[in-house]
Amino acid sequence: MNTAPPRPAPSEAIPSREALAADRAAALALTPVSRETEARLDRFVELLWTWQAKTNLVSPATLPKLWSRHVSDSLQLLNLAPSAKVWMDLGSGGGFPGMVLACALTETPGAMVHLVERNGKKAGFLREALRVTGAPGTVHLANIEDTVDRVAGPIDCVTARAVAPLHQLIGYAVPLVKRGAKALFLKGQDVEVELTEATKYWKIEPRLHSSRTGGQGWIVEIDEIKHRNPSTGHDGSPL
């Protein structure tokens, strides 16, 4: 399969075909998936390259390592919630982790990924990505705080990546976690600082998982959330 992307905007560095293939191979070796899922991920990545030229979906600096920095980073969440079928991705942006999870769950009966995105262009990209890949998902063009209380039915897992500080994400996730969802938040090297801030507002017993994709990334797993002060809003700040 041709893994070379469409030509991006002139301002973006164009990785070589060999570099892209090597990055893809390394990512899939780290987080293996079925051939069918690989094919869907290829279609998703090709679409992202096309849209990236006109809409900033991911940081241009990360494009040479798109598979290892974004795709594999997203896939690793599946191992932490292997029985989860219905996910909600807060602030889906360019589709990480939500679209990647949807691609991987396509063969799972009853699977659904709710993609919450307030930016109209990015929401349009996500809708097209769902169409092109045939992955099970739905796009909610709305603010996060306006969505978490309104989605009917059970949510098995709620996730987010590069969206907001941890204490705000926890506040957004409270209604879902109270309904039985597990929270899995992808965070960077400042996770301890964010956890310290979060515990000012929330009673939590987080479990930290080192990212399998290397670097200084972490996954924060939370199964129960309680307010330290009942008079707080979605972001944990006083009402």
Ligand-binding site membership of 134 (annotated): no
Contact 202, 170 (CB under 8 A): yes
Helix H or strand E encompassing 139: strand 137-141
Q: Is 153 annotated as a binding residue?
A: no
Residue 99, H or E segment:
helix 98-104
91 known ligand binder: yes
221: which DSSP letter? Answer: E
Answer yes or no: is 197 a known binding residue: no
Structure tokens belonging to residue 124: 């349009």
First to last CA, the chain: 54
Is 51:2 a contact under the CB 8 Å cutoff?
no
Is residue 131 a contact partner of residue 99, using CB atoms and an 8 Å limit?
no
Residue 116 parent element (H or E)? strand 112-117
Contact 116, 92 (CB under 8 A): yes
161 is in an annotated binding site: yes
Contact between 93 and 162 under an 8 Å Cβ cutoff? The reply is yes
- Known binding-site positions: 91, 96, 144-145, 161
Residue list, annotated binding site for S-adenosyl-L-methionine: 91, 96, 144-145, 161
